[in-house]
Structure formats: C-alpha cells, structure tokens
C-alpha cells in the first residue's frame, strides 16, 4: 500500500471537524479540571476532618477507576438515576472531573510547599483567610506546579478518544470512520497521529511560556 495524497485531501475536512471537537473537549475539560481541582485541593485543607476526609476519598476513588468506566457510568447508568445529559456534556464533564482529581494532587503539593512561615505572617498581619489564600498562598503555590498541570493537559488531550465510546465524533473516531468507509487507514490514522503530536508540542510550549511568565510575574525564580 502506498501513500496517496488525494486521500489526504479528501479526508481533511472530516479530520478537521474531528480535530475541532477534540480541541474543544480538551479546553473545556481542562478548564473544569483546573477549577474543580483547585476546589478539591482547597476543601481538602479544611480544618473539618469529615469534610476533608470525604473529599480525599472522592479524589482517591476517581483516580483509582478507569476514565472509560466513569464515562460509561455517567452516560449509560446515569439516566437510571434521572441524570439525562447529552453525550457531549457527559463526556467533557467526566473528562474534567477525572483530571480534576489528578490536578488537585498537584495543587496540594504546591500548597504544602509554601512555607508555614507565610501562614504565620498572614495571621500576624491579621489577613482574612480568603485574602491569605488569594493574595499570599496561591500566588506562591501555583507557579511552581504549572509544568505538572501542563502534563495533565497533554494527558487529557491524548485521552479524548475515550469520548468515541459514547459516540462523540472526535478526531480519531472521524479518522476511523473515514478509514472503514474508504478501506484506507494509512493516511487518516497517520494524519491523526501527526495532529496529536503537533498539538502536544504546541501545548507544551504554551505551558512552558505560562510557567516562565508566572514565575517571573511573582518573582519566584
């Protein structure tokens, strides 16, 4: 079988549509992961043992079960409990929640790395807890963990084909469909691989730039 450029051009619109879906799912999912992950991490710091322990258990549970299982559970089992949501909402939501659990561990490491003395200075200056978190602790906790958060962005991006399992036409599914319709897989699968590679490289460069900028911005280098 030889490489056929005409197939490439023919497949391009399909893959393009799929790529848009993949990128949308990644960006939305990662936004959920970043915000929800921070919420998990902050709630875990709660002085109330019951609250912090339950969030710890939830995070542990999410981290210890496969993403595909979670997607199936929400999409196929959810309706039996009255959870009627579209495949898109279920898919992106689960992707976000799954990675939120991982991101929360990152945030936790960042928070625990901030010296105890910073908290003591906040108390001595009588800053409110919210102000302490927002202006003193998080600006020191987050810049150092941006590279690890970036790793999860790339992992999540590479996990988006899981969405195909609930019939979301992301890029790899589009490629596969095109391949089975035309009996040619070589070009489309290669093109998908190439796209994943390029996007990962771009994302990684952006993460590095953000990390550098944040560390400079907060003079933590």
Asked whether the beta carbons of 37 and 107 are under 8 A apart, the reply is yes
Which of 63/217 has CB closer to another protein? 217
Stretch that binds another protein, among 62-70, 81-89, 202-210, 213-221 (CB under 8 A): 213-221
Told to check if 131 binds another protein by CB under 8 A, we report yes
Question: Residue 118 interacts with another protein (CB under 8 A)?
Answer: yes
CA distance 188 to 117: 56
Size (the chain), residues: 221
Exposed, middle or buried, 58 (CB in 10 Å: 0-12/13-18/19+)? middle
User: Rounded to the nearest 10 degrees, what angle do helices 5-44 and 186-217 cross at?
Assistant: 40
As measured in angstroms, the least distance from the Cβ of 215 to another protein is 10
128 class by beta-carbon count within 10 Å (0-12 exposed, 13-18 middle, 19+ buried): exposed
Q: Is 134 helix (H, G, I), strand (E, B) or coil?
A: helix
Q: How many residues bind another protein (CB under 8 A)?
A: 19
Minimum CB distance to another protein smaller for 20 or for 121:
121
> Is 121 near another protein (CB under 8 A)?
yes
Pick the closer one to another protein by CB: 4 or 112: 112
Q: Is 127 in the site for another protein (CB under 8 A)?
A: yes
Query: What mask of x and - would describe binding to another protein in positions 58 to 97, judged by CB under 8 A?
Result: ----------------------------------------
Directed axis angle between helix 87-113 and helix 146-159, to 10°? 160
Q: Which CB atom, from 198 or from 220, has the smaller least distance to another protein?
A: 220
- What 3-state DSSP class applies to 218? coil
- Which member of 83, 135, 197, 206 binds another protein (CB under 8 A)? 135
* Spatial CA neighbour of 59 closest among 98, 110, 33: 98
Q: Which of 39, 136, 165, 189 lies at the binding interface for another protein (CB under 8 A)?
A: 136
Q: Does 167 bind another protein (CB under 8 A)?
A: no
> Can you give the binding site for another protein, defined by CB under 8 A?
115, 117-118, 120-121, 123-128, 131, 135-136, 139-140, 218-220
């Amino acid at each position: 079988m030889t490489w056929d450029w005409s197939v490439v051009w023919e497949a391009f619109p399909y893959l393009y549509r799929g790529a848009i879906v993949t990128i949308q799912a990644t960006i939305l999912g990662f936004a959920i992961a970043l915000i929800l992950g921070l919420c998990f991490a902050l709630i875990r710091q709660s002085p109330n043992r019951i609250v912090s322990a339950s969030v710890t258990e939830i995070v542990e549970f999410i981290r210890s079960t496969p993403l595909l299982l979670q997607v199936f559970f929400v999409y196929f089992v959810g309706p039996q409990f009255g959870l009627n949501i579209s495949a898109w909402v279920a898919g992106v939501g689960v992707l976000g929640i799954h990675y939120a659990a991982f991101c929360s561990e990152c945030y936790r490491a960042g928070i625990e790395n901030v010296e105890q003395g910073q908290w003591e200075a906040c108390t001595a200056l009588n800053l409110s807890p919210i102000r302490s978190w927002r202006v003193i602790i998080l600006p020191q906790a987050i810049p150092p963990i941006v590279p690890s958060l970036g790793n999860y962005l790339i992992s999540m991006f590479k996990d988006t084909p899981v969405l195909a399992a609930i019939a979301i036409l992301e890029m790899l599914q589009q490629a596969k469909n095109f391949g089975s319709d035309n009996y040619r897989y070589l070009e489309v699968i290669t093109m998908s691989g190439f796209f994943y590679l390029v996007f990962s490289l771009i994302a990684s460069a952006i993460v590095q730039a953000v990390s550098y900028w944040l560390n400079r911005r907060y003079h933590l280098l």
